[in-house]
Amino acid sequence: MPWNKVVGQPLSRWMSDGGNHADVVLSSRIRLARNIDGVPFPHRLDPRRAEAVVKQIEAGVKEINLLGLGSKVELYPLSKASGLERQILVEKHLISPHLAQSAQGRAVAISDDEGISVMVNEEDHLRIQILLPGQQLDQAWELASKIDDALEVKVPFAFHQQRGYLTACPTNLGTGLRASVMVHLPGLVLTGKANDLLTALGQSRLVVRGLYGEGSDALGNLFQISNQLSLGHSEDEIIRHLDQVTNQVVEHEHRAREALHRELGEQLEDRLHRAFGLLSQARIISSDEAMRLLSDVRLGVDLGLLPHVKVQALNELLVSTRPAFLQNQAGHEFSPRERDVRRATLIRERLSA
């Protein structure tokens, strides 16, 4: 896919309809950390060796395309991407904020449908990522495993008999697997029960983060839940545990939404319709306010109170209203106020469509 389409279109595969419990679970992600045997970790690589790693991964990408997945994977050197374009990839959840910090000796391979991305020379030489809509951890793992095997044909991975796959961070030792789900929890947040549940998750070998992972905020009542350690547990155990906990989170969220609707009635309906009214009429809107109102509208859609609004449109707006994407679409940088005006215009246009 041409680079201008990668950074120019807001939609990715994970934003489409599909997957279990899609009203609560927006996406499922499987990420595998791998390193090349005999090569220092990325933070110890000089520019020449970092570029050599990129070349080696490029050969592995050709093996991925031989799998016949129905979506071609292409490698993009980040040295040719602007800082704004790298940030767009973060906003689309295709790369991590860490990879976006610098470009030299780094790259990312992305499939045409953007369900597959392979980060090169992030914290590890390779971060294989599968991102699917809804609760589809098993399907994401199956695809990640195929890509892992294909890459290993050209790239010998660093592996230890007792410690498993060797990684730059000790928490990724073992399987190198990080499984996560992105969940929308407005019911639990509005009923004041979110903190208790999220604390309980921390006691279940899981970690809860914000919208863009470690160190980010839970914008729009969106949270990422993932496994904390990978050493000492098999891939199936990690995925099964997260799947079971996610089912429990979904059940708690559904109960909270039912309680809100039952106890608040017209008051809740008024809030959700007001959110849609503000989004469809506002002339100036900040990023944080947009995320909060989009969360309310999504809740309204899921409760059947705003049936004319399409979930895919809301998913698209999660990306297209973010600062980097807005500025890239306009072809120049905006002041904060100009961004807020442009954001409001974009939301009005998309919701009216």
Q: 214 and 295: one domain?
A: no
Q: 8 and 133: one domain?
A: yes
Average pLDDT over residues 54-77: 94
Q: 229 and 279: one domain?
A: no
Contacts by residues 342-346 (CB-CB < 8 Å, ≥ 24 positions apart): 343/285, 343/286, 343/287, 343/290, 344/282, 344/283, 344/284, 344/285, 345/283, 346/317, 346/320, 346/321
Q: 233 and 269: one domain?
A: no
Q: Please return the burial class of 66, using the count of CB atoms within 10 Å of its CB with bins 0-12, 13-18 and 19+.
A: exposed
Instruction: Give how far Cα 282 sits from Cα of 177, 286, 310, Å.
Output: 43, 10, 19
Whole-number Å distance between alpha carbons of 309 and 301 = 7
Q: 210 and 317: one domain?
A: no
Q: pLDDT value at position 54?
A: 96
Tell whether 201 is covered by a domain.
yes
Tell whether 279 is covered by a domain.
yes
Q: 198 and 334: one domain?
A: no
Tell whether 178 is covered by a domain.
yes
The number of helix segments (H) and strand segments (E) in the chain equals 13, 10
Q: pLDDT value at position 201?
A: 85
Q: 287 and 251: one domain?
A: no
Whole-number Å distance between alpha carbons of 217 and 295 = 14
At residue 213, does pLDDT exceed 90?
no
- Tokens encoding 88: 């767009």
Rounded to 10°, the helix 336-352/323-330 angle is: 90
Contact 154, 63 (CB under 8 A): yes
Of 177, 170, 134, 164, which is closest to residue 315 (Cα–Cα)?
A: 134
Whole-number Å distance between alpha carbons of 133 and 129 = 13
H/E stretch holding 29 reads strand 25-34
Instruction: Give how far Cα 226 sits from Cα of 183, 205, 240, 304, 331, Å.
Output: 11, 9, 12, 30, 36
Contact 194, 188 (CB under 8 A): yes
pLDDT digits over 299-324, tens only?
Answer: 999 999 999 999 989 999 999 999 99
Q: 130 and 48: one domain?
A: yes
Cβ-proximal residues to 181 (8 Å cutoff; 6+ apart), any chain: 25, 27, 28, 29, 135, 137, 224, 225, 226, 242, 246
Q: pLDDT value at position 53?
A: 96
Tell whether 166 is covered by a domain.
yes
Q: pLDDT value at position 288?
A: 92
- Tokens encoding 304: 């059947």
- Tokens encoding 317: 């707006």
Q: How much is the pTM?
A: 0.92
Q: 82 and 128: one domain?
A: yes
pLDDT-based confidence at residue 1 (cuts at 50, 70, 90): confident
Give the residue from 208, 230, 255 where a domain finishes: 255
> Domain range holding 43?
3-255
Q: pLDDT value at position 353?
A: 78
Q: 342 and 233: one domain?
A: no
Higher pLDDT, 249 or 202: 249
Give the residue from 255, 277, 293 where a domain finishes: 255
Q: 189 and 288: one domain?
A: no
Q: 288 and 234: one domain?
A: no
**Percentage of residues in the chain with pLDDT exceeding 70?**
98
pLDDT digits over 89-143, tens only?
Answer: 999 999 999 999 988 999 999 999 999 999 999 999 999 999 999 999 999 999 9
pLDDT-based confidence at residue 63 (cuts at 50, 70, 90): very high
Query: How many domains does the chain contain in total?
Result: 2
Tell whether 329 is covered by a domain.
yes
Q: pLDDT value at position 241?
A: 94
Tell whether 326 is covered by a domain.
yes
Tell whether 260 is covered by a domain.
no
pLDDT digits over 16-41, tens only?
Answer: 877 899 999 999 999 999 999 999 99
Phi, psi (deg, nearest 5) at residue 14: -70, -15
CATH number of the CATH domain containing 66: 3.30.590.10
Tell whether 66 is covered by a domain.
yes
- Tokens encoding 97: 């904020």
- Tokens encoding 48: 């020449």
Average pLDDT over residues 263-291: 96
pLDDT digits over 152-196, tens only?
Answer: 999 999 999 888 899 998 888 899 999 999 999 999 999 999 888
Amino acid, res. 6:
V
Of 128, 96, 123, which is closest to residue 31 (Cα–Cα)?
A: 128
Give the residue from 204, 227, 255 where a domain finishes: 255
Q: Measured in whole angstroms, how far is the alpha carbon of residue 318 from the centre of its chain?
A: 11
Contact 272, 308 (CB under 8 A): no
Q: pLDDT value at position 329?
A: 85
Whole-number Å distance between alpha carbons of 35 and 22 = 34
Contact 228, 241 (CB under 8 A): no
